[in-house]
Structure 1
Amino acid sequence: MKDPFCAVVTGQSLITHDIRHVQDERFAEVERFLQQGDVVFTNFESTILGQHGGWPTKGKYFGYSKAEVLDALQDIGFNALALSNNHAFDLGPCGIQSTLDEVETRGFLHAGIGIDETNAAKLGRRHLGYRHVSLLALDAGPGPANMYAENRTASRPARPGVNRLKTVRKIGVPDGHFRRLARLGDHLQSSHLEIANYAQPEDPPELASGKELNFYGTVFTQAADFSRLIEIDPQSANIQLSAIRHAATQGDFVIAYLHHHHWEPGWQDVPRWVQAFARTCIDAGANLFVSHGAPVLQAVEIYNGSPIFYGLGNFLFHVHPDESEWDPPEVWQSIVAACRYDANGILEAIDLLPVVIGEANGRHGSETGGLVPVPAGGHAARDILEGFASRSRAFGAGVEISGYSGRIVLPPARKFG
């Protein structure tokens, strides 16, 4: 007889401080909520400065952590980490290697980076609870090509890096504006070699002849109206989906994870391309889809009996206090979700704990500052849950709110395994 199974998922963990010293009963309540899970999952939004060293690969939005933060994550209950994100390569290949060493030493289920492309694309697999759990973790950019893992070829050595879901961003513009941009390029005497120079360290994207143009790194395409378009490379997607199918045929509980920064103008809105890809992952056999990137709480959908968390915002968010772009209160608010499955693998319910990092009034509101999340109460809890319910309603998911907690109202679900 199998036992029930619980998967707990949170916002991303940009953690640079060891939080094991925090003595706060409210944070302890969050820890207890985490520790009910057989699998407790977050995105480790950093890279480790360890024995392999490393050097900064970017400017203002650069960061790294010491290995002790992994001990802190483990101490509060996490046992599964996605590593594919825009900070994973902040120390270059050396940071990739140090991070791999440290998470493997601690026995985390992990995925999303590797010593080459094949290794980075490999699903992590661990026995957690009564199930084998497989994790696929991807990053869809935008990011420089040299942060992504590559295999060795006859003329190039292998490169450690991030598991990439290849995407291209295009800006749709009506015909008249498209022609004006083309004329402007002609007046500026733009050439193929100049465009290649500006594309460094990447290669210029391929264009549809006559219908697209590369204007100094931005691809414009003829369209009926103005639009932002993200196109997923089919071959790249198929490689990842095949890995999901293989894990599903083994009877594993499969988590698919996507990190991206292709945000909508309203950053709590779900991009259509993400919804399409998430559903494709579920169709391939994933039992749970989680995404981060936009630092805010988006929506949830229950698709074919499986949860799709389009954006869980932040759980730990240790950013520099001078970065005022993160001041909006929604950046410091999220939920922790406990997905409960019965002994037959049927999703029964999803319990929701609304949290705020620091306090409801922002990152500096409590004794522990913005170091840890605490349960939201009062108006903050209602605002988080009602906003989440409203956004999720558009995806057909119902959320029951009771006091300072919530529960997903489920349609008929399918089992895994």
Structure 2
Amino acid sequence: MQEQSQLDGDNREKVEAYDKVGSLATNVADGFTLVAVGDLIVTRPVSKYRHPVFDEIVNILHNADVTFGNMETNIFDIRSFEGSPQAEYGGAYHVSVPALGPDLRAMGFNIMSYANNHTFDWGVEGMRKTCQVLDESGIVFAGVGENLSQAAAARFLETPRGRVALVSFASTFTPMSRACDPAGEAGGRPGLNPLRLKEEIVVTPEMLENLKQVRNALPNFNSGFEEEDRVVLAGMTFKAGDSVGYSYDPNASDVSNILRNVRQGKQFADFCIVTNHGHEPGNWCQQSPDYEQSFARKMIDAGADAYIVHGPHQLRGIEIYKGRPILYSVGNFFMDDLRTPVGADMFEEHGKDPRIHTDAEVTLDEMSKLHEAELGFSDPVFYESIIAVSRFEQNQIAELRLHPIELGYSRRFANRGIPSLASGDKARAILERLQLLSRPFGTEIIIENNVGIVTP
């Protein structure tokens, strides 16, 4: 009996030891601060030239344990680059010079996501060169790799107040940029960590009946594959619902893979950031896609301490769930579109001739056009955003401060896209819009001295 009691005691100690080592509990020191911004579409070093409007921004970025943003450009020297612009690209060819890497570190960035629809604008060569620059600049990044296991894995940042994990993925990406693991004799594929979404269009029952009539009248329609509650037409799936809109169903395998890496990331760290680059249902929309709230909460339940979305290029609402911030879109941080060079495919898409027109003229045309009924990037709303500063006490968010920024919509093209703190009516307009967008999540934002404050 004494021997059995000793065994039970040993087993209990092993379980307790496992709970401490493999726990999903948050374990940062009080005062731990996370700064989060959105998309960095930037073509050049900025801080080293001391733009007067930018110095106040840098002070905020530096005053944090973790400063996060989405790396939405590729970094290499075009004069020695051995890759090429891809036929399949993210809407524009994003590229910056190697000096950007050290400059981002000098700004205060120490952790970044790199899974997005521009990761493969310049192919695997562009991805690898960008990874090299980020590594050499001392910036931790996640979301890409030589195979899916590497792309999906958490990456880690050491800070004085705790070890931080980052899991990065994209729901909006070019199909050829999706990473995969080896299978049998077939090797793995470099690329990004995906969250594939099955998109369906919700219509009224009457509309669905009309679509059935169109489908049934088309040649080669096989009624044996007909679904009563859905219509597949021109590659799109339509289903009946109460109101017209878009609906998304995340790929179960991708979700499982992400959850596993979130869990492992938190087990190996004191704090875990999970981040998604997603445009759905479109850049025109200020509301999140229908799947994302339950998905974000699932990430928090799996161990995430913050869930951050970027991609729509404009602000969406904020939720506090179980003492953790969910930022459904932090918009743009840089919108510096002095991109050069651009590929021949982009000239052709916009009806331009590289022998006659300039890279800037192609870019301006791309920014101002309406694509599939979406707002063009000439709209001022894409040049208004926030810097979100989360402070944690007793391992839960104590305060979320929202600093409104503007990216110089009215400035000359050569100077547009660099953030500065908004003030006066502009600051209030940005924060009031965010108040309205956050209200459905039960989040109250108080505005004080041109800053939004959330105190759960």
- CA offsets, 1:321-353, max 9 Å, x none? 3312112221101111111123x3232211221
Aligned to 1:307: 325
Partner of 1:364: 411
Q: Residue 352 of structure 1 corresponds to which residue in structure 2?
A: 402
Amino acid at match of 1:241: L
1:169-194 residue CA offsets vs partner (Å, 9 max, x unmatched): 011234454344344345443579xx
209-218 or 74-83, larger mean C-alpha shift: 209-218
1:31 equivalent to 2:58? Answer yes
- Within 1, Cα distance between the matches of 2:110 and 2:256? 28
CA contact (8 A) 1:264 1:270 kept: no
Q: Which residue of 2 is the match for residue 138 of structure 1?
A: 169
- Correspondence list, 1:17-166, <5 A: 17-49=44-76, 53-58=83-88, 60-141=91-172, 143-154=173-184, 156-166=186-196
SS at match of 1:149: coil
Residues 116 and 179 of structure 1: CA distance in aligned 2, closer, same or farther (over 3 Å)? same
- CA–CA distance in structure 1, aligned partners of residues 301 and 226 of structure 2: 30
Q: 1:91 to 1:264 in 2, by over 3 A?
A: closer
Distance 1:117 1:136 in 2: 13
- Answer whether contact 1:13 1:316 (CA < 8 A) is retained: yes
| 1:209 CA drift (Å) | 4.5
Distance 1:189 1:75 in 2: 62
Shift of 1:274: 1.3
Alignment RMSD, CA only? 2.4
Contact 2:156 2:269 in 1 (8 A): no
CA distance in 1, matches of 2:86, 2:29: 48
Residue type of the alignment partner of 1:303: Y
Q: Secondary structure at the match of 2:57?
A: helix
Hey, what's the Cα distance between the residues in 2 that align with 1:31 and 1:292?
20
Matched-pair contact (CA < 8 Å) for 2:86–2:123: yes
CA distance in 1, matches of 2:406, 2:392: 27
- For residues 242 and 94 of structure 2, the distance between their equivalents in structure 1, rounded to whole angstroms, comes to 41
The alpha-carbon distance between structure 1 residues 25 and 226, as it changes in their structure 2 partners (threshold 3 A), is closer
5+ residue gaps, structure 1:
193-206, 411-417
Structure whose CA Rg is larger: 2
- Give the distance between the partners of 2:443 and 2:240, measured in 1 at CA: 36
Residue among 364, 367, 374 paired with 2:420:
374
- Contact 1:171–1:226 (8 Å) recurs in 2: yes
Distance 1:95 1:182, change over 3 A: farther
Q: 2:211 aligns with which of 172, 175, 181?
A: 181
Residues in 2 aligned to 1:265 and 1:369: alpha-carbon distance in whole angstroms: 23
> 2-side partners of 1:100 and 1:265: how far apart?
27
Q: SS at the partner of 1:312?
A: coil
Structure 2: how far apart are the matches of 1:363 and 1:110? Answer: 33
Distance 1:208 1:125 in 2: 49
Question: Normalising to structure 1: TM-score of the pair?
Answer: 0.86
1:211-242 deviation digits (Å, cap 9, x = unpaired) = 43432322223445533111112221121112
Greater CA drift, 310-319 or 242-251: 242-251
Alignment map for 1:247-262 (pairs within 5 Å): 247-262=265-280
2:212 is the counterpart of 1:169: no
Out of 4, 24, 38, the residue aligned to residue 11 of structure 1 is 38
Distance 1:3 1:222 in 2: 50
Deviates more, 1:36-45 or 1:46-55: 46-55
Structure 1 residues 155 and 399: alpha-carbon distance in aligned structure 2, compared to 1, 3 A threshold: same
Kindly provide the amino acid, as one letter, of the partner of residue 131 in structure 1: G
Q: CA deviation at 1:118?
A: 1.0
- Name the SS of the counterpart of 1:242 in structure 2: helix
- Higher relative helix content: 2
Supply the distance in 1 between the matched residues of 2:449 and 2:259 (Cα, whole angstroms). 40
Q: Normalization by structure 2: what TM-score?
A: 0.79
- Matches of 1:127 and 1:135, distance apart in 2: 12
1:321 lines up with 2:391 in the alignment: no
Aligned-pair CA distance for 1:258: 0.7
In the aligned structure 2, how far is the partner of 1:210 from the partner of 1:371? Answer: 49
Identify if the C-alpha distance between structure 1 residues 175 and 4 changes in structure 2 by more than 3 Å, giving closer, same or farther. closer
